[in-house]
Amino acid sequence: MRKPLADKLRPNELNEVVGQKHILGNGKILDRILKSGRITNMIFYGPPGVGKTTVANIIAEKSNKKFYKLNATNSNLKDIQQIVSTLDTFEGINGILLYLDEIQNFNKKQQQSLLEFIEDGRITLISSTTENPYHYIFKAILSRSTIFEFKPVEKEDVEIAIDRVVKIINKEEENISIELKQKAKEYIVSASNGDVRKAINALEIAIYSTPPNENYSVIIDLDIAKDSTQTKVIAYDMLGDSHYDILSAFQKSIRGSDVDASLHYLARLIKAGDLISICRRILVIASEDIGLAYPNAITMVKSCVDSSMMLGFPEARIPLAEAVVLLATSPKSNSIVIAIDRALDDLEKKEVGDIPIHIKDAHYSGAKNLNRGVGYKYPHNYKNNYVEQQYLPKNIKGSVYYEYGNNKMERASKEYWHKIKVDNSSLI
């Protein structure tokens, strides 16, 4: 069985690994750990195809320990027990290095089964995950491990990997030579979106699906590169970090009034087909970030959301873009979210006391016998439909939750009420 090119040509030394210079470069932390020979428990966190497994394999080869590799997606407690059983054998005399890929797929009990052996040093654990370890990995494992974040590989480094593959194939293959056109290489690199394995897999398809010409050259041009990659990879998992990272960037770009960045992150969400998340997020943005600076925004966004839900993709992209541009270019105010959060905070932290008796319900027989509604002043009976009276409970009388935002709409409202209250107070 022929091994995939990405596995066949996997680097054997750290200096052959592309990208991750922040942890792998000469004198950086992983380089120093490897040179010291003292391998500690590590968690490699990052997207697929950025070198996590490659680096783990290199570290394993350099260690003087028995190496085991498990993938948590298809392993269980019995597999761990079998590895543990070798600790007291000749094989495990120097200890064991266990590489556990996709550790987030192990439940708490499975992760806990390793603790005793990690603590006494008989097992050194290197685990990798595409998900945020602080969300998915048992805290006791986290506290005994160093977390290394692997980042998407930069375009220049993916190009280096692609060039290396072509060079090796041209050296090893006797019957053909590979000629990778520059535009084809740029397209494969761009379509991989920082995933080196994806780029190499695309190149492999291009090479072995293209017949050589009369000179035994396999020429990979732009059209062949496009056919071999099909669809660009967008990092997005409905239940994972990328989902929340994109939504966070989306809202913060709208909040920051950067219309182009807002449309960029909207495009990512559209590409992922995540209509529900887009609609929910823009509806909350209309109140949380625009609020009373432009009160009609939520009505207009709701109309766009309704249209999008009725249309579905691809047409839904148009009203969604309309809503996003509206929100990004609208004046901003977070006075509403601050106000309601202050009110909720008082409920948590203070003994707020009873509702003033004069504004309690008095629409029933016998209410007056209980003094309900007695002394209530009906505002519409007064000038400007306003009269001063106590509405808050006595314990929190004078509390201020809402403060007018510094925008045209709220300034006008503030001026209006200041005038009304001053005017009415002159009548008292």
pLDDT tens column, 200-222: 888 988 888 888 888 888 899 99
If asked whether residues 29 and 144 sit together in one domain, one would say yes
In 118-246, at which residue ranges do the beta strands (DSSP E only) sit? 123-129, 146-149, 177-180, 217-220
Instruction: Tell me whether residue 362 is exposed, middle or buried, using C-beta atoms within 10 angstroms of its C-beta: 0 to 12, 13 to 18, 19 or more.
Output: middle
Q: How far apart are CA 375 and CA 389, in angstroms?
A: 10
In 102-234, at which residue ranges do the beta strands (DSSP E only) sit? 123-129, 146-149, 177-180, 217-220
If asked whether residues 43 and 108 sit together in one domain, one would say yes
Q: How far apart are CA 255 and CA 329, in angstroms?
A: 9
Show pLDDT as tens, one digit a residue, over the chain (428 residues).
466 777 777 888 888 888 888 998 888 888 888 888 788 899 999 888 888 988 988 888 888 788 888 888 888 888 888 888 777 776 656 778 889 998 988 888 888 888 888 888 888 899 999 888 888 888 888 988 999 999 888 989 999 999 988 888 888 777 788 899 999 999 998 888 888 888 988 898 888 888 888 888 889 999 998 888 866 555 555 555 577 889 999 999 999 999 999 999 999 999 888 899 999 999 999 999 999 999 999 999 999 999 999 998 999 999 999 999 999 999 999 999 999 999 999 999 999 999 999 998 888 888 888 888 888 999 999 988 999 999 999 999 999 999 999 999 999 999 999 998 887 665 54
Q: How far apart are CA 223 and CA 101, in angstroms?
A: 36
If asked whether residues 162 and 114 sit together in one domain, one would say no
SS3 178: strand
The pLDDT, as a whole number, for residue 231 is 61
Q: Which two tokens stand for residue 122?
A: 């008989």
If asked whether residues 163 and 277 sit together in one domain, one would say no
Last residue in a domain, options 132, 149, 166: 149
CATH number of the domain at 396, please: 1.10.3710.10
Q: Which two tokens stand for residue 383?
A: 């000038």
If asked whether residues 26 and 145 sit together in one domain, one would say yes
Residue-wise pLDDT for 382-420, tens only, equals: 988 999 999 999 999 999 999 999 999 999 999 999 998
Which are the contacts of 377, defined by CB distance < 8 A and separation ≥ 6?
Answer: 387, 389
Q: Is residue 207 part of a domain?
A: yes
Last residue in a domain, options 281, 298, 329: 329
The conformation of residue 311, written as its DSSP 8-state character, comes to H
Q: Which residue has the tokens 């990997």?
A: 161
If asked whether residues 282 and 298 sit together in one domain, one would say yes
If asked whether residues 26 and 82 sit together in one domain, one would say yes
If asked whether residues 180 and 273 sit together in one domain, one would say no
Q: Is residue 85 part of a domain?
A: yes
Q: Is residue 320 part of a domain?
A: yes
| Domain ranges, residue 387 | 352-425
Neighbours of 298 (CB within 10 A): 18
Q: Is residue 281 part of a domain?
A: yes
Neighbours of 137 (CB within 10 A): 22
Q: Which amino acid is at 374?
A: V
If asked whether residues 162 and 262 sit together in one domain, one would say no
Q: Is residue 74 part of a domain?
A: yes
Last residue in a domain, options 149, 183, 211: 149
Helix pair 317-329, 241-255: axis angle to 10 deg: 50
Q: How far apart are CA 278 and CA 305, in angstroms?
A: 9
Contact assessment for residue 228 and residue 203, using Cβ atoms and an 8 Å cutoff = yes
Q: Is residue 235 part of a domain?
A: no
Q: Is residue 1 part of a domain?
A: no
Residue-wise pLDDT for 333-358, tens only, equals: 999 999 999 999 999 999 999 999 99
For residue 200, which phi and psi values (nearest 5 degrees)?
-65, -40
Q: State the maximum Cα–Cα separation within the chain, in Å, rounded to a whole number.
A: 106
Indicate the pairing of strand 146-149 with strand 96-101.
Answer: unpaired
